[in-house]
Amino acid sequence: MTDLTQRERARPGAGRRPVRSLYSGNASAVMLRGWRATRSTNWLVVVSGFFEPIFYLLAMGIGLGTLVGDVTTASGQVVPYAAFIAPALLAVAAMNGAIYDSTWNVFFKIRFAKLYEGMLSTSLGPLDVALGEILLALLRGALYAIGFQLVMQVLGLNLSWWALLAVPAVLLIAFGFASLGMAITSYMKSFQQMDWINFVMLPMFLFSATFYPITVYPEWLQRVIEALPLWHGVELVRGLTTGDVGWGLLWHVLYYVVMIALGVVFTTRRLRALFLD
Amino acid sequence: MTERLSTVSADPATARAIAAGRRTRRWGAWYVALHRFRVMKSYTGTVVVAGIGNPLVYLYALGVGLATIVDVDLDGVSYLVFVAPALLASAAITVASEEFTYPIMLGYKWNPTFTGMSSSPLRPTQIVDGIVISVAVRMTVNLVLFLLLILVFGAAPSPVAAGMIVAGLLGGLAFGTVLMGYTSTLEEDTGQLAMVMRFVVLPMTLFSGTFFPLSTFPIWLQWIGWISPLWHSTELARVFSFGYEEPIWLSVVHVVYLVVLIVTGWAWARHIAVRRLGR
Amino acid sequence: MPAPVIVAQDLVKRYGEFAAVDGISFEVAPGESFGLLGPNGAGKSTTMRMVGAVSTRTSGDLAILGLDPDTHGPEIRSQLGVVPQADNLDAELRVRENLLVYGRYFGMPGRLVAKRADELLAFAQLEDKGKAKVDSLSGGMKRRLTIARALINDPRVLLLDEPTTGLDPQARHILWDRLFRLKEQGTTLLLTTHYMDEAEQLCDRLVVVDKGAIMAEGTPAELIRRYSSREVLEVRFGSDRNSEVAERFTGVGDRMEVLPDRVLVYSDDGEAELVRITDAGFRPITSLVRRSSLEDVFLRLTGRSLIE
């Protein structure tokens, strides 16, 4: 009897029902904590995040737009400059909201606040924690997206009824970045390493067909950009808000589904390795 | 008339103290700067990578990429030449917003090294001076790297393009010292610094004639540029970079405005330091 | 007689209406180990900060090494070593680097600082931790590093604010041992504490401080003799019965203090008092005879415990 329990403890997850040790079906408890913490401390910061894409839209869309005029999209459609960058900013907003919550916030909780250590000493499993945190990040991304969509509607930048689908598309993007961000963060050890996330984010933000079509780049650079997640997000949302819809958009969706799956699996494994093994 | 306890007497212990205080009274700010350099050394990697990588990415993405769709005459130069000085000036603002926020909160509160410093012969004003000196040095390093990359891109035709470094430094310190004053007043960070980033730094970067001339905006939005240290330093940098034509009095206004901000912000930060560390 | 190192006369520090320090006077001679004993909030730390020339006094007079902190702050601080209550080591630097940068603040040449740093790491028993991150040190190690840092300039006076608060018993003893050595080498110590055992261990002379004012002054032995008896008998009758039982004691001890959890009987012979109590028919749940301590002095002077 003693033998058996000890052997089981030595190889966690090797029991008869491996998922039981990972997930207790209570991710909402983790979300609730996050929601309370946000509400009591930095809700203003969270709300203010909504303004970031709007500043960009005003400055670049309206200011720079007067110098640029119309732009030709990847599929040959000609649209006003503001309508060209608005969907990209929407995708970026989803990415930023999700990345902030799933990287810096999570890093702090793992390394300093020892929050997860406390959570995992209860009946919560690592998958509860991972899902709870990711879904919270997702919620934040969704709030930004809906707000920004309304602004786009008011400014007449939604060119088609397909734009309604941009909201679930943005959720997908946020989910992808949140799960991947958290997986990567769980491997980070110092603030300096966290800076490397910024080094990837900045060029991705500037290069991913955000402010101009990627056709201006040499062939090889275009391929690199097409391999990065933000470009898929931008193209997906832009296709929907400009009404340039085709089956090809589903490739972008597939890209995100794979990204989400990988992110969740790696985060769960890593949290178990960090706190339970 | 009460008798004063303290008289600068001939007591050997007193004399020793007087002699020992002399060096720090004179060089204290440099000692603090040296301390800061040692701390910065621990993140040299990120400073260098960001110092080269960020200019590269911005110059390429905006000066080359975005330029292909902006086909308007901008003061007679290409979009790359037009935007490069602005990107350089923004880089100084970025350094300022990193070095004058969290390190200051850290020193006063999270890891109160300033309290430790003030127990040594250093005076609070010297702590502030030392930090400003160290950040000015780091900013100069970043600006020089940026200038070199601009030259690699062939984006600064004027022979006096190096003057951009002075313009960038003035802008970065003008914003930075005021920011340091503000950060010094914070007893706790409940998101104020994030708000500064979002509602001051970001709009400033976008609305200061950075990516397009300020005159593109309706007049009721142009005031953002006029009060923005970034606009003043960008315009000044453009004068150095490609001989941007503006009346000489306006260039003088840029310099005077930035210097006034530096002096005011610096004095404010010193004032707070004396009050906060001498409670 | 050599000139005193610290002279304070009617020292007052007011924050708005509140007087944190309300007219304190004392003198510390060279080589002396002087303590400020009192509960949290008594004004000890504020006094220390004024002596450390980092907080300006509201009124009164103060001289450290014959100098006025208002005008000669840097000169005074050049002769002090300060160990604050909360460690303020630079967590962004390594252990040895903390000593190096701190030495520079005193204008010491780099080579001298490096030599001192190595000596002090040995003194603080941290030789093998020189390259470690500050955050990886235990509480006791951090405190020893802070003391090493305070000694980098070979100070005339060492100011220690609650030096062992928050440390475990073993770490406290290591620290006390290091402070003893400094005392033997002739360093003047000024320390605050709310632990009477610490005050008894380390202080040649001390003042008892409460609510910003001095209640008594003397050597630990003097104070105990003056304000307490030789021994103390502690008896417990259960939390709700202590005061009720104590009221019925008659002719027991020189003096009595009734606390919520126990009754203290002051006498030169504690055992005899216990016999007298049990003979009178009282049955305490527990009883303990001990020597009088500064805790009893404080209780006598203020009617309150030191640690609340």
Spans of chain B, pLDDT less than 70: 1-10, 73
Q: For chain A, what's the residue count?
A: 277
Could you give the number of structural domains in chain A? 1
Assigned domain for A14 exists:
no
R_g over Cα of chain C: 22
Which of B41, B46, B90 is the best residue to mutate to test the A interface, defined by the most A CB atoms within 10 Å of its own CB? Answer: B46
Structure confidence at residue A6 as a pLDDT band (50, 70, 90): very low
Contact A56 B49 (CB under 8 A): no
| Upper half-sphere CA count for residue B225 (Cβ side, 13 Å) | 22
Domain C6-224 architecture: 3-Layer(aba) Sandwich (3.40)
Q: Are strands C80-83 and C157-161 parallel, antiparallel or unpaired?
A: parallel
What's the pLDDT at C1? 60
pLDDT of C30 strictly over 90:
yes
CB contact under 8 A, B39 and C76: no
Cα A236 to chain center, whole Å?
Answer: 14
What are the beta bridge partners of residue C258? C263
Alpha helices in B42-153 (DSSP H): 44-58, 79-99, 102-105, 113-118, 124-152
Q: What is the mean pLDDT of residues A89-99?
A: 87
3 state SS for chain C: CCCCCEEEEEEEEEECCEEEEEEEEEEECCCCEEEEECCCCCCHHHHHHHHCCCCCCCEEEEEECCECHHHHHHHHHCCEEEECCCCCCCCCCEHHHHHHHHHHHCCCCHHHHHHHHHHHHHHCCCHHHCCCEHHHCCHHHHHHHHHHHHCCCCCCEEEEECCCCCCCHHHHHHHHHHHHHHHHCCCEEEEEECCHHHHHHHCCEEEEEECCEEEEEECHHHHHHHHCCCEEEEEECCCCCHHHHHHCCCCCCCEEEECCCCEEEEECCHHHHHHHHHHCCCCCCEEEEEECCHHHHHHHHHCCCCCC
In 3D, which of C235, C239, C240 has the Cα closest to residue C282?
C235
In Å, how far are C30, C199, C204, C224 from C219, measured between CA atoms? 16, 10, 6, 9
Per-residue pLDDT tens over the stretch C214-258: 999 999 889 988 988 888 999 888 877 777 877 777 777 788 888
CB-CB contact of C143 with C89 (8 Å): no
- C256 contacts C266 by C-beta, under 8 angstroms: yes
The closest alpha carbon to C82, from B24, B121, B128, B11, belongs to: B121
Those residues of chain B whose CB sits closer than 8 Å to some CB in chain A are 42-43, 45-46, 49-50, 53-54, 57-58, 61-62, 64-66, 68-70, 72, 190-191, 194-195, 198-199, 202-203, 206-207, 211-212, 216-217
Count of other CB atoms within 10 angstroms of residue A115:
18
Q: What is the pLDDT of residues A18-51, one digit of tens each?
A: 565 677 777 788 788 777 776 666 677 777 778 8
Q: Rounded distance, CA C26 to CA C28, Å? A: 7
Q: What is the pTM of this model?
A: 0.86
- Confidence category of residue C147, pLDDT binned at 50, 70, 90: very high
Let me know: does C290 contact C232? Beta carbons within 8 Å.
yes
Whether A18 is covered by a domain: the verdict is no
B145, two tokens:
């790297």
Q: For residue A44, list chain B residues with Cβ-Cβ distance below 8 A.
A: 191, 195
Closest by CA position to C232, among listed C285, C286, C279, C271: C271
Residue B162 DSSP symbol: T
Cβ–Cβ of C67/B277 closer than 8 Å? Answer: no
Q: What sign for the dihedral angle of Cα B186, B190, B196, B197? A: positive
pLDDT at position A277, please?
Answer: 64
Provide the pLDDT for residue B6. Answer: 59
Among B32, B120, B129, pick the best mutation site for testing chain C contact (most C Cβ within 10 A). Answer: B120
Which of the 8 DSSP states describes residue B190?
S
Look up residue A191 and give its two tokens. Answer: 């603030």
Mean pLDDT, rounded, for C149-173 = 90
Instruction: Using a pLDDT cut of 90, give the percent of chain C over it.
Output: 52
The nearest alpha carbon in chain B to C9 belongs to: B5
A80: DSSP letter: E
Chain A interface, mutation test: which of B49, B62, B210, B212, most A Cβ atoms within 10 Å? B212
* Domain positions in chain C: 6-224, 229-291
Q: Which of B63, B261, B209 is nearest to B149 (CA)?
A: B63
C15, C78, C88: residue with CB nearest B116: C88
Structure tokens at A196: 């490397």
Range of the domain at A191: 24-275
Q: Which of A41, A45, A100, A200 to mutate to test the interface with B (most CBs of B within 10 A)?
A: A45
Chain B hits for A42, Cβ within 8 Å = 190-191, 194
For chain A, which chains pass the contact test of at least 3 CB pairs under 8 Å?
A: B
Q: Give the model's confidence band at C305: pLDDT under 50 very low, under 70 low, under 90 confident, else very high.
A: low
* CB-CB contact of A210 with A53 (8 Å): no
Percent of chain A's residues with pLDDT above 90: 23
Kindly list the residues from chain A whose CB atom is less than 8 angstroms away from the CB atom of residue B216. Answer: 63-64, 66-67
Cβ distance B195 to A45 less than 8 Å, yes or no, reads yes
**Smallest CA–CA separation between B107 and chain A, in Å?**
17
What sign does the CA torsion over C146, C147, C152, C153 have?
positive
**Cβ-based interface (< 8 Å): residues of B facing C:** 2, 4-9, 11, 13-14, 16-18, 20-25, 27-28, 31-32, 34-35, 38-39, 42, 106, 111-113, 115-123, 277-279
Pairwise CB contact (< 8 Å): B35 & C101: yes
Distance between B115 CA and the closest CA of chain C, angstroms: 7
Cβ B93 vs Cβ B205: under 8 Å: yes
Of B45, B70, B199, the CB nearest to A67: B70
Q: How far apart are the first and last CA of chain B?
A: 28
Cβ-based contacts of A211 with chain B (< 8 Å): 61-62, 65-66
Q: What are the structure tokens assigned to A198, written together? A: 């910024």
**C306 pLDDT band (50/70/90 cuts)?**
low
Is CATH 3.40.630 correct for C229-291?
Answer: no
A125-182 per-position pLDDT tens digit: 777 877 888 888 788 778 888 889 899 999 888 888 888 888 899 999 999 998 898 8
- Residue C89: the pLDDT is 92
Beta carbons of B192 and B105 less than 8 angstroms apart: no
Sheet holding C59-64, edge to edge: C18-28, C6-15, C59-64
- Antiparallel, parallel or unpaired: β C6-15 and C59-64: antiparallel
pLDDT at C301 over 60: yes
A3 has pLDDT over 50:
no
Residues from chain B contacting residue A202 (CB–CB below 8 Å):
53-54, 57
**Chain B neighbors (3+ CB pairs < 8 Å):** A, C
Q: Between B46, B57, B211, which is nearest A192 by CB?
A: B46
**Between residues A36 and C103, the one the model is more confident about:** C103
Supply the mean pLDDT for chain A.
Answer: 81
Query: Which amino acid appears at position A274 of this protein?
Result: L
Tell me which chain C residues have a C-beta less than 8 angstroms from the C-beta of B31: 101, 104-105, 107
Q: Indicate the residue type of A224.
A: V
Look at A81 and C251; give whichever has higher pLDDT. Answer: A81
Q: Give the B:C interface size as CB pairs under 8 Å.
A: 140
- The amino acid sitting at B162 is A
- Of the candidates A59, A63, A212, the beta carbon closest to that of B65 is on A212
Chain B, nearest residue to C90 by Cα:
B113
- Residues A64-80 pLDDT 10s: 888 888 888 877 788 89
> Which residues in chain A are closer than 8 Å to B190, comparing Cβ atoms?
41-42
Q: Which element (helix H / strand E) includes A79?
A: strand A78-80
Rounded to the nearest angstrom, the minimum Cα separation between A204 and chain B is 10
H/E segment holding residue A70: strand A70-72
Which ipTM score applies to this complex?
0.86
The shortest CB-CB distance from B46 to any of A51, A195, A212 is to A195
* Residue scoring higher pLDDT (B129 or C87): B129
Q: Has residue A19 been placed in a domain? A: no
Is residue A8 in a domain?
no
Cα distance from N-terminal residue to C-terminal residue, chain C = 41
Determine the Cα–Cα distance for residues A162 and A239; give it in Å rounded to an integer: 9
| Mean pLDDT, rounded, for C89-117 | 92
- Residue A181 CA to residue A186 CA, distance in Å, equals 9
Amino acid A29 reads A
Identity (one letter) of the amino acid at A265?
V
Q: Which of B154, B200, B176 is nearest to B268 (CA)?
A: B176
pLDDT at A244 over 80: yes
